Chain A
Amino acid sequence: MNSRADTGQPQTVTGDTPIVEIRNVIKDFGGVRATDNLSLAITPGELHCMIGPNGAGKSTFFKLLMGTIRPSSGTIHFNGEDITRLAPFARARRGLGIKFQNMQVYQELTVFQNFFVPMRRHHKPAEMPELVDRILRRIHLTGLEDETVKNLSHGQQQWLSIGMSIALEPKVLLLDEPAAGMGPEETASTAEIIKALNAEGMTIIVIEHDMEFIRSLNSRTSVLHLGALFAQGSYEDIERNEDVHKIYLGKA
């Protein structure tokens, strides 16, 4: 895990070649500049946290990575390959998995059926029950495989959405506010789920507002502000950074 305190500077390659790298990416929505010349690199195996005030451009960063929106300028690399022009499904096939900010589960299907779609690409139906059981255990949904998803609690649906992304067996997992709307206990469990996945080698980028949650992940953290990288460093560095506190209070 990288904990260099190079606050303020766009991250350049340290050691390993980055698995995800965006260079000078600008994204304009009409008059709004959602990301402003953003450059960022993620090393393989890293657990990377991303924070920033509302509208800072965090979700836009994920959508650019996944390809649901295209940058106005700049490039996006995955595993050394330029994927700037690839469609989302092609990026998914290369190993990018995502849970978007809004909940994305198939409401009218059962929990088990929800896993069918992400798993079908890599596994035979006969293998699925065991694999699903294994994932359900990780995300605390054991025994609920035949429940219709719309009957699950909000937190359970968030976990299911994470579980579906895991089922894809991605190289890099993008989680946009995985603990949104959860109580303290569920939030803590979510942090444990993420740490366990990362410990097994999955590269993970997490966007969150909940600082308690970011603290428990205790990993390299980037701060976005007005579409640009405002600060970067270990969790303690960020916590100690006065300027970061200011932007959250709206003074910077």
Chain B
Amino acid sequence: MKRSGIFGILGLLNGPQTMGRGWVFWIGFVVFVVLAYLGPTHLGLKPYKINEFLISGFLAASLSILWGYCGILSLGQVAFFGIGGYVWGVIGINLWDSTGNTHLAFLGGILAPTAFAAIVGAAMFLARLKGVYIAILMLVLSLLLETFMLQTADPEVYSIGKAVLGGSNGLRPASDIPNAAFGWGESVVDFNGRRAEFYYFALTLLILTYLGLRMLLNSSFGYLLVAVREDPDRTETFGYDVRLIQLAVFCIAAAIAGLAGSLDTARINRVDPEVFGVSANIMVVIWVAVGGRKDLTAAILGAISLEWLFLWLTTSGNPEYATIVMGAILVGVMLIAPEGIFVFIGERLRVLFGKSGLFSVERKDSVI
């Protein structure tokens, strides 16, 4: 049994902590990616509708690594999304005239929520807070942020440079929130959030994030995440400071949520306190639970397909029944496939292709 060299780059992409390995999976992956890129031009996908779905994909990935892999359920994951969105907007508005790009807005939109997560996470994990307390605390925090942002209507008090926080109307001046833009001077590339150019940009970022997270999850750090999920006390008796592992994954998840929030503000050139609300928080949990929290791929697919389904229900036939139909589907899926619909499908595919060794390489060759 030879296991050496599995720590190579390709091995990390392949498993074992992420579902889907072996040739069939990767061929399927490439086909899927090619189709996704051809979507706007050849498959009639409307970027102004589906750009939002890609952003859901980031949020789902963020909650999947935190909850699915490390066992820390947060009911306030969009707190980081919202902070990222606001910080992106404030920096974007203020630096646009002088720089003409949004490099620093993205940097701030990722780093600010990460720093916030480091402070909140340190307080929670060092106090060895567990389970439901973390979930609730994060929801409360998100709602506090919403309440705070709602009362920022007075421009005299709540302005940061040219940006006015704007209370319930959201960040102003709305028309001056820039698009995502990269480059300098003449060579700035600008991505209009309602067009295909933004779609290609966000899709590329999502694929890169996905592949990067696959490598992280299949590295030894990913093992520790799963070990902490399975049994934190036992893991600590092996000499690991479990609190630091939890803090690390909490910060990484916050960074990805912050990137999602940044992208969303850039997409619609607005951000308002609703991003911190209960329904936003619950949606993320539903996407991930229905898709399959314990697998990155499943969680992302869950988010995108549920968003798509909801859009389809609301725009076709009887939109007044959309919420009820959606609810029925969610309950049905959770009854049939409690681990998530895409994990369920993945397991079936593994059985189907497993014998030929195509869909998943032999277990023993992929142990690390």
Residues of A within 8 A of B (CB): 66, 68, 87-89, 92-93, 97-98, 100, 104-110, 112-113, 116-118, 120-121, 125-126, 128-129, 145-146, 164-165, 168
Contact = CB atoms under 8 A, between A and B. Distances in A.
Contacts of B1: 129, 145
7 contacts: A88-B237, A92-B239, A106-B231, A110-B363, A112-B364, A121-B238, A128-B368
Given A89-B237, A92-B239, 19 more contacts: A89-B242, A100-B233, A100-B234, A104-B237, A105-B231, A105-B234, A106-B226, A108-B226, A109-B226, A110-B367, A112-B367, A113-B367, A116-B367, A121-B240, A125-B3, A125-B4, A164-B238, A165-B237, A168-B238
Given A104-B233, A125-B3, A92 B223 contact: no
A106 B227 contact: yes
A126 B4 contact: yes
Interface residues of B, number: 27
Contact of A125 (B224, B234, B242, B368): B368
Contacts of B231: 104-106
A117 B368 CA distance: 11
B364 A145 contact: yes
A106 B230 contact: yes
Contacts of B6: 125
Interface string B237-264: 1111110000000000000000000000
Contacts of A66: 237
A117 B238 contact: yes
Interface string B328-368: 00000000000000000000000000000000000110011
Interface of B: 1, 3-4, 6-7, 16, 220, 223-224, 226-227, 230-231, 233-242, 363-364, 367-368
Given A117-B227, A125-B368, A89 B241 contact: yes
A98 B233 CA distance: 11
Given A106-B226, A116-B220, A89 B363 contact: no
Given A106-B227, A108-B230, A120-B220, A146 B238 contact: no
A192 B190 CA distance: 71
Contacts of B7: 125
A120 B223 CA distance: 10
Contact of B239 (A125, A145, A168): A168
Contacts of B234: 100, 104-106
Contacts of A165: 237
Contacts of B223: 113, 116-117, 120
Given A108-B230, A117-B223, A97 B367 contact: no
